[in-house]
Structure 1
Amino acid sequence: MAKQETSIESAHRVKLPEMDWEDLTEPGAYVEIGTGDLYRFPKEALIQGGSPLVTKESHGASRLVQVSKDPYVTTMKARLLCAQHNIEPNF
């Protein structure tokens, strides 16, 4: 029997969800594309009708990429996910 090699590269890479701040509706860990800053949004932060826990005002366009559905993903794993998707982390 021939030994089968396993690649550490994913056979097909999943594109991370990207959105505007206003479109954020799901808890998770997000990285701002322009700055590389990491934001963690627990479900409590996104309750409809409640006061938002995070607000951002800017003249420039700002996009977020969801690196994990877990807002408490480890920083190391979030950095690795950024590296795998060519996003330069700033955390």
Structure 2
Amino acid sequence: MAKQENSIESAHRAKLRETDWEDLTEAGAYVEIGSGDLYRFPKEALIQGGSPLVTKESHGASRLLQVSTDPYVTTMKARLICAQHNVEPNF
């Protein structure tokens, strides 16, 4: 029996979840489209009714792509996911 090897080439490449800052409701690691900056949002940061731990003010529109539901995903894995989805990481 041949040994099955895992390959990044065969990884399932589903479309990444895209959201606005104001609509962010799920914990995870997100990359900002345009800047390529990585933001990590643990579930504690998203408690309804609590003060937000992260705020951003800008005149321009800013969108986020969820690269992982794990806010503590390794930087290397987050960069790989960005590369697989043609997003230029800045981290």
TM score, norm. by length of structure 1: 0.89
Structure 1 residue 72, shift from structure 2 partner: 0.1
Work out which of the two has the higher radius of gyration on C-alpha atoms and give 1 or 2.
Answer: 1
> Identity of paired residues, percent?
85
Who is 1:51 aligned against? 51
Structure 1 residue 10, shift from structure 2 partner: 3.4
Pair 1:38 & 2:30 matched: no
TM score, norm. by length of structure 2: 0.89
Q: 1:42 & 1:36 partners in 2: Cα distance?
A: 19
Pair 1:72 & 2:57 matched: no
Q: CA RMSD in A?
A: 1.8
Contact 2:13 2:84 in 1 (8 A): no
Structure 1 residue 11, shift from structure 2 partner: 7.3
Q: 1:12 & 1:38 partners in 2: Cα distance?
A: 22
Question: Per the alignment, do residues 80 and 12 of structure 1 end up closer, same or farther by CA in structure 2, a change over 3 Å counting?
Answer: closer
Q: 1:29 & 1:54 partners in 2: Cα distance?
A: 13
4+ long deviations beyond 3 Å = none
Q: In structure 2, the residue corresponding to 1:40 is in which secondary structure?
A: strand
Q: 2:41 & 2:84 partners in 1: Cα distance?
A: 22
Q: 1:11 & 1:75 partners in 2: Cα distance?
A: 18
Gaps of 5+ in 1: none
Question: Per the alignment, do residues 85 and 54 of structure 1 end up closer, same or farther by CA in structure 2, a change over 3 Å counting?
Answer: same
Structure 1 residue 79, shift from structure 2 partner: 0.2
Structure 1 residue 34, shift from structure 2 partner: 1.1
Q: In structure 2, the residue corresponding to 1:80 is in which secondary structure?
A: helix
